[in-house]
Each structure stands twice: as C-alpha cells, then as structure tokens.
C-alpha cells in the first residue's frame, strides 16, 4: 500500500498514577506519572496536495480548523523544516474531548510522525518531541512511543515494561477542562517525588482526581461504580476513569454489566506505540 493511502493510528493513553510534585516559576506544574498506551484510539489519513495548503477535511464541531491540534502540528512541522508541502488531513475521531486520554495530543503526535515520513522532512524523535511540547505537554510521549515514567511537565521519560493488562474505560458525558483543574486552589501541589526506579504497579494516586470529582460529580459516580472491580482511577485531568484486569474476558464481562446510563470500552494496554518504528 502507498503510504499516502494508509491509516495512521493515534492511540489513547492512560496515566497509571499522576502526582503534582511542585510548580515552576512560570506557573507550569511539575508532575510525575506513568503513561501507558491503549489499543484503542483515533485514526488519521493524509492526502497529498499540490497547492501547499493544510486542510482538515473532518473538522470537529465547535473547534475552528486553524486551532485543531492536527492542523497546528502540520504547520509546526512545516515551520521547523521549511518544507512547502501540503496535505489534506482526514481524522476519524473515537476518543472524547476533555477525557484525559490524550486524544488531541495523540492526534498531533501522529500528524507529526506521519507527515515527517510522508514529506520526507527527516527529523528524528527528539526534534519531533520538541515541536510537540510546544503544542501540548502530552504530545511528546506519543512521539517517544514507549510506556514510560515521566517527569518535569511530562516530557522527561524513563521507559518501562509493564505487566500485560486489560482496562475498562468509562467515558462520562462531560468534558473536563484541564486548565480549570490545574488552576484550582484545592489542587495538591506538594506530593513527595520519587525516583523512577521506585515506581511499582499500583503505586500512588491521581492528585487531580479529588478536584475533578468535586467540580464534576459524574466523575465521582463513574469511579464509584468502577471500584467494585478494583483500584479505579481517573486518567489525566479527567473525565475518563479506568480499572485494570488481568484478562480480556473479565474486562469485557465488566463492560457488559455497565448501567444503561454509562458508556465505556475495553482495551488492552500497550507498551509500544504502533508508529514507534517508522
């Protein structure tokens, strides 16, 4: 298949824990987290253009195309490399906005990875990560392409090999604005930092979760339902919540028991992004 005809995956991520360990002078929060990818996400297809334009063929309702992260990523790659190539971007959106699964960041990273390959601009992963960081703090992990313990604002990585697992994800019918959570005076910002080597599965919590639950009771309701199956946690700044299972059958059985007024999906965890080797 011609690479211009292929589908480029943009998987979800979850934060297995998320601690706020401080704050920089410029206001950015210092974090520690473990990122894991899921075998579920959006899909991007790129079409070449001869007029040098960047066109999003599938704009999201309420989002101006020029502010969409896929379009911004394409323009950022052009600015960094000097290429005059163009593309039409076709995005199949499955991940919720404001869900804490990194959907927009994953889309941006996949755009960088795909167009860097298709336009033959030749940037390496660290260069693409630097472009991605200017677009959003979660973009670099998707370019990095490995499950990792992350520090700083989420851009310094120590790679991990995690036990195989399946996850049940619940998707409350709300979007949680990340800035609202990080600006809350109730957010804890002094959780003690640990060394990456000190992390173990099941460690920690999500410091953003109490704030999100207080502001958005639907998040708490979904977490309470999930906790019958184990240590349920919110991902990122919410609203999506997850619980881990060792077997696919158990995750799918829990999904089948979901109340009629809740929605979700089951997905396997992945340690390597599907585009990590391009």
In 3D space, the residue among 165, 118, 123 whose CA is nearest the CA of residue 143 turns out to be 123
Which whole number is the average pLDDT over 47-63? 94
Q: Which long-range contacts (CB under 8 A, 24 or more apart) does 182-187 make?
A: 182/29, 182/208, 182/237, 184/211, 184/215, 186/210, 186/211, 186/214, 187/20, 187/211
At residue 140, the pLDDT reads 97
Stated pTM of the model? 0.96
- Which pLDDT tens digit goes with each residue over 235-253? 999 999 999 999 999 999 9
Q: pLDDT value at position 2?
A: 78
For residue 277, what pLDDT band results from cuts at 50, 70 and 90?
Answer: confident
Over residues 203-218, mean pLDDT: 98
> Does the CA dihedral 46-51-56-57 come out positive or negative?
negative
pLDDT digits (tens, 9 = 90+) for 99-153: 999 999 999 999 999 999 999 999 999 999 999 999 999 999 999 999 999 999 9
pLDDT over 60 (residue 1)? no
93 is a catalytic site residue: no
Q: In this structure, what token pair is assigned to residue 68?
A: 């969409």
Percentage with pLDDT > 70 across the chain: 100
pLDDT over 60 (residue 254): yes
Q: Distance (Å, rounded) from C-alpha 102 to C-alpha 21? A: 21
Mean pLDDT of the 245-269 span: 98
- Catalytic residue among 42, 68, 107, 138, which? 138
- Please answer whether residues 52 and 91 qualify as being in contact, where contact means their C-beta atoms are separated by less than 8 angstroms: no
Q: Quick check: 212 pLDDT over 60? A: yes
* Chain center to CA of 196: 20
Please determine, for residue 10, whether its predicted confidence score (pLDDT) is greater than 90.
yes
For residues 3 and 46, give the distance between their C-alpha atoms in angstroms, rounded to a whole number.
Answer: 9
| Other CB atoms within 10 Å distance of the CB of residue 259 | 9
Query: Which residue ranges form the domains of the chain, and what is each CATH number?
Result: 3-159 (3.30.230.10), 166-270 (3.30.70.890)
CA dist 129 and 117 (Å) reads 15
Q: What is the DSSP string of 32-59?
A: EEEEEEEEEEEEEEEEEESS--EEESSP
The confidence score (pLDDT) of residue 144 equals 98
At 27, is the pLDDT very low, low, confident or very high (cuts 50, 70, 90)? confident
Mean pLDDT, rounded, of the chain: 96
Q: Give pLDDT tens digits for 160-198.
A: 999 999 999 999 999 999 999 999 999 999 999 999 999
Q: Exactly one of 13, 42, 107, 207 is catalytic; which is it?
A: 13
Cα distance between residue 123 and residue 50, in whole Å: 22
- Cα maximum dimension of the chain: 55
Contact in structure between 227 and 209 (CB atoms under 8 Å): no
């Amino acid at each position: 298949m011609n690479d211009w005809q292929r589908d480029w995956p943009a998987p979800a991520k979850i934060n297995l824990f998320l601690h706020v360990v401080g704050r920089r002078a410029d206001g950015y929060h210092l974090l520690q987290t473990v990122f894991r990818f899921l075998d579920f996400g959006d899909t991007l297809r790129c079409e070449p253009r001869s007029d040098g334009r960047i066109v999003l063929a599938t704009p999201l309702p309420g989002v101006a195309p020029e502010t969409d992260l896929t379009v911004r990523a394409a323009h950022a790659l052009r600015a960094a490399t000097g290429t005059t190539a163009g593309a039409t971007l076709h995005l199949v959106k499955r991940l919720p906005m404001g869900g804490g699964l990194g959907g927009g960041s994953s889309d941006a990273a996949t755009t960088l990875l795909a167009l860097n390959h298709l336009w033959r601009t030749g940037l390496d992963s660290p260069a693409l990560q630097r472009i991605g960081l200017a677009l959003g703090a979660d973009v670099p992990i998707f370019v990095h392409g490995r499950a990792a313990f992350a520090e700083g604002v989420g851009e310094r990585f120590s790679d991990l090999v995690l036990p195989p697992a399946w996850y049940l994800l619940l998707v409350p019918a709300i979007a949680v604005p990340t800035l609202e959570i990080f600006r809350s005076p109730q957010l804890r910002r002094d959780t003690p930092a640990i060394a990456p080597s000190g992390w173990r599965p099941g460690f920690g919590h999500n410091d953003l979760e109490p704030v999100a639950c207080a502001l958005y009771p639907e998040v708490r309701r979904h977490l309470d339902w999930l906790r019958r199956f184990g240590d349920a946690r919110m991902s990122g700044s919410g609203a999506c919540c997850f619980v881990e299972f060792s077997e696919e059958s158990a995750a799918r059985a829990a999904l089948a028991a979901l109340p009629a007024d809740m929605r979700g999906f089951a997905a396997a965890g992945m340690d390597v992004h599907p585009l990590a080797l391009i």
